[in-house]
Structure 1
Amino acid sequence: MSIEKIAVLGLGKVGSLTARMLTEAGFRVTGVDTRRLRRTPPFDVVAADLTDAAALPALLRPYDAVISCLPYALNTAIATAAHQEGLHYFDLTEDVPTTQAIRELAKTSKGVMAPQCGLAPGFVGIVGAHLASQFESVRTLRMRVGALPQHPTGHLGYAFNWSPEGVVNEYLNDCEVIEEGQHKWVSPMEWIETLYVGGVKLEAFTTSGGLGTMCETFEGRIENLDYKSMRYPGHVDMMNFFFHELLMRERRDLAGEILTHAKPPVDDDVVYVHVSAEGWSDDRLNRKEYVQAYYPIAVAGERWTAIAWTTSASACAVIEMVNEGKLPARGFIKQEEIPFEAFLDTPTGRLYRDHGA
């Protein structure tokens, strides 16, 4: 089923840019949001209550595909409506239970069910699988991503350029890993390490959801596999104090409100990606790395933050590949099964190749 008309649900920064990128790519885009936009975008916009699950099937019926750029808690209902109407479905979620629910829907779907199409999970998994494929046997696959302010202030050294619900989820939910061949769950904000990207000192620690479905895919094939978020040094100690000593883990909504009030979004951000694989080929132990820093760029004549364009470009590239027949036309799509070079050859995926530093 080809994609001509696509609905983009949620017109925040990522949703608005996703709609623009898809419009530039030739799709007929309709943005859907609950609020009135301050400016008229270069695509159609309709207002709707996206929390009304009963109304979603009729809302989505005119389209061939839908991408949700909304908080993860709304995505199961949206995916269910898309499944009912036989549409292709895409989202940016990092939430594990939401993805599991969508996988069940994919068993009987008429179109593609492709959650986790953002940066992490999403692009980082595509990179990781690409590096792993270059070895006959893989000892270790480590994936690290950090979306940070370029000019940090205060002890946290952070700014909430991403959904506060998503960040709190990542910091508090258990994390999947493969350790010494065993698929297991570990606590978040642990396994702390130091690393550098372009001379910038960072710390990395376990967070939830960044691996997507990779532990399932690589169990029995990789000895050690994990995902961590990167932050400026000292951040994880402050967040452990906040969530555990002050017991803010028991009040997640309030925690997100406090953190975003203290550290609002910034325009000058940077996305660090550090993916490494170690393994054997030709009877030798080798290491391969993909290390990049991504900064704000101009898209469609407007400047966009690094986290916005890296997330949107990843999702749009997957949609383009489905439409071009380079990915399956129905069922569940795992990000790690998407060919890296073909991804970079799409009009939006090419941004990753052209703008890395």
Structure 2
Amino acid sequence: MSRIINQVAVFGLGKVGELVAVLLEESGFKVVGHDAAPREGLGIETRAVDVSDAEALRESLRGFDAVVSCLPFHLNIDVAEAASAASTHYFDLTEDVPTTNRVIELAGTSGETVFAPQCGLAPGLIGIVGASIAATFEEIRSIELKVGALPQNPTGLLGYAVNWSAEGVVNEYLNDCEVVRSGRRQMVPAMSETERVVIGGIELEASLTSGGLGTMCETYDGRVQRLDYKTMRYPGHFEQMRFLFEELNLRDRRDLVGQILVDAKPPVNDDIVYLHAAVEGVKNGQPFRENHVRGYKPIEIAGTTWRAISWTTAASIVAVVELVADGRLPQHGFIRQEDIVMTEVFGTIAGARFETLGRV
């Protein structure tokens, strides 16, 4: 069967975007990378584009079946609107709620175009895993989802390394979080309800953070008693972040906090990504709790060793592109991550790594 997507434009050629381009080519797509300036040595064609220029942005999508945005979240709406105008299928990695709300609006007016935001880890893969497990239960009491992107060998009181967007990390620590409590959707403060988590003998802590559930609270409103997403860190991390935001009065200086974090805790290559999904309810007529716990480390792809956060994020979004292209997901409209089946993701070329790696 012929694919509905063959030519893909990748916007943003940072470490994740570069690998997205590599994995898309591995999965059989023709790829052209777009960034603020041309990039050399990536093995693909690259073009310069100014995403603030709406006309140039629309023109850059001419001839492409799909666009994958790996840009900072505040640039995604411009790309999504250009994709809508050009009738180009749209995918992104955003965890930003206002951005997703705008993408949903565009999906409702864009005819035969797919809009699939939130295709990273959280929101994204963790929601796919949690919803797929929940689908095997007769009754669901709770869905608890957690992700931690961490250094394998932490140092200092924060025990952290900024391997992802500092801007995104600060936002998820400060913006209120949507959860389901006692069967109802509600908003609660970020960095609250801290709990102890142990994975493979490694002690972690987890606190509520914003954006990780995507649209799941709306989907499961009234269907579960409890639903939440938490970020995992090494013990003591959130206490230090509360000191930074509250005691030093930096809550309203997000850019400064991001700069401080990057300066103090720069990226490392020896990282690990933990996924922890747990569903409780009734399965096969009996009370049951099912856990899906993985720890993904850096791997080699196409002759280069990629950080865990890079390859897990890139593989997640490319797997969704594959599923749409091959007709295994809807061919138009808004795609919710919780409507994607975990085994389908693991059956793609890009997503197969999740099936074979990460056991803890």
Out of 129-138 and 185-194, give the one that drifted further. 129-138
Question: Residue type matched to 1:63 in 2?
Answer: F
1:189 aligns with: 191
CA shift for structure 1 position 50: 2.4
SS across alignment from 1:250 = coil
TM superposition shift of 1:267: 0.4
1:95 corresponds to which residue?
A: 96
Q: Which residue among 289, 296, 299 is the counterpart of 1:297?
A: 299
Shift of 1:62: 2.3
Q: How far apart, in 1, do the equivalents of 2:122 and 2:181 lie?
A: 20
**Partner Cα distance (1:356, 1:233) in 2:** 22
In structure 2, the partner of 1:145 is: 147
Structure 2 counterpart of 1:69: 70
Provide the secondary structure at the position in 1 that maps to 2:225: strand
Residue aligning to 1:49? 50
Question: Within 1, Cα distance between the matches of 2:293 and 2:284?
Answer: 24
Residue in 2 that maps onto 1:133: 135
4+ runs deviating over 3 angstroms: none
Distance in 1, matches of 2:319 and 2:292, equals: 19
Distance in 1, matches of 2:37 and 2:198, equals 41
Q: Find the residue that maps to 1:248 and give its secondary structure.
A: coil
Matches of 1:229 and 1:6, distance apart in 2: 32
The CA distance in 1 between the partners of 2:69 and 2:35, in whole Å, is 11
Determine the C-alpha separation between the residues in 2 that align with 1:266 and 1:277: 32
In the other structure, the counterpart of 1:214 is 216
The one-letter amino acid paired with 2:241 is M
Contact 2:323 2:348 in 1 (8 A): yes
- The answer to whether the Cα contact below 8 Å between 2:37 and 2:47 also exists between their aligned partners in 1 is no
Farther off after superposition, 9-18 or 106-115: 106-115
CA distance in 1, matches of 2:250, 2:103: 30
Q: CA deviation at 1:283?
A: 3.4
Following TM superposition, by how much is the alpha carbon of 1:169 offset from its aligned partner in structure 2, in angstroms?
A: 0.9
1:245 has 2:247 as partner: yes
How much does 1:55 deviate? 2.1
User: Cα distance, 1:284 vs. partner?
Assistant: 1.6
Partner of 1:111 in structure 2?
113
User: What is the percent sequence identity of the aligned residues?
Assistant: 54
Aligned pairs for 1:266-285 (under 5 A) are 266-285=268-287
Q: Which amino acid aligns with 1:104?
A: E
C-alpha displacement of 1:53: 3.0
Query: Is 1:155 the equivalent of 2:141?
Result: no
Say whether 1:6 aligns with 2:8. Answer: yes
What CA deviation, in whole Å up to 9, does each residue of 1:15-67 have, x standing for no partner?
Answer: 00000000111111000011343x41121111122233342111112211001
For 1:14 and 1:203, the matched residues in 2 are separated by 26
Alpha-carbon distance, 1:356 to partner: 1.2
Match of 2:312 in 1: 310
Cα distance in 2 between the residues matched to 1:302 and 1:119: 21
Distance apart, 1:246 and its partner CA: 1.2
d(CA) in 2 for partners of 1:78, 1:351: 29
Calculate the TM-score normalised by the size of structure 2.
Answer: 0.97
Question: Match for 2:191: what amino acid?
Answer: M
1:256 alignment counterpart: 258
Structure 1 partner of 2:335: 333
| C-alpha deviation, 1:254, in angstroms | 1.3
C-alpha contact 2:209 2:229 (8 A) present in aligned 1: yes
Whether contact under 8 Å (2:20, 2:314) holds in the other structure is yes
Q: Letter of the aligned partner of 2:324 in structure 1? A: V
**Deviation per CA, 1:136-171, whole angstroms, max 9, x where unpaired?**
111111001000000101110000000111111100
- Partner SS state of residue 122, structure 2: coil
The letter for the 1-side match of 2:211 is G
**Residue type of the partner of 2:75?**
L
User: Could you tell me how far apart the structure 1 residues matched to 2:109 and 2:51 are?
Assistant: 24
Give the distance between the partners of 2:313 and 2:355, measured in 1 at CA: 14
Q: Report if the CA contact (8 A) 2:49-2:56 is conserved.
A: no
Letter in 2 for 1:25: S
TM-score, with structure 1 as normaliser: 0.98
SS in 1 for 2:173: helix
Question: Matches of 2:45 and 2:9 in 1, distance apart?
Answer: 10
Amino acid at match of 1:191: E
Say which is worse superposed, 234-243 or 247-256, in terms of deviation: 247-256
Residue of structure 1 equivalent to 2:87: 86
Most deviating of 45-54 and 25-34: 45-54
Superposition CA RMSD, Å: 1.0
Structure 2: any 5+ residue segments left out of the alignment?
A: none
Q: Secondary structure at the match of 2:105?
A: helix
- Aligned counterparts of 2:311 and 2:212: Cα–Cα separation in 1: 18
The separation in 2 between residues aligned to 1:245 and 1:75, in whole angstroms, is 33
| Contact 2:51/2:78 (<8 A) preserved | no
Please say which of residues 59-68 and 315-324 is displaced more in the overlay.
59-68
- Note the C-alpha offset of 1:135: 0.9
Give CA-to-partner distance per residue, 1:302-350, whole Å, 9 cap, x none: 1000000000000000000000000001000000000111111001110
Q: Which runs of 5+ in 1 are unaligned?
A: none
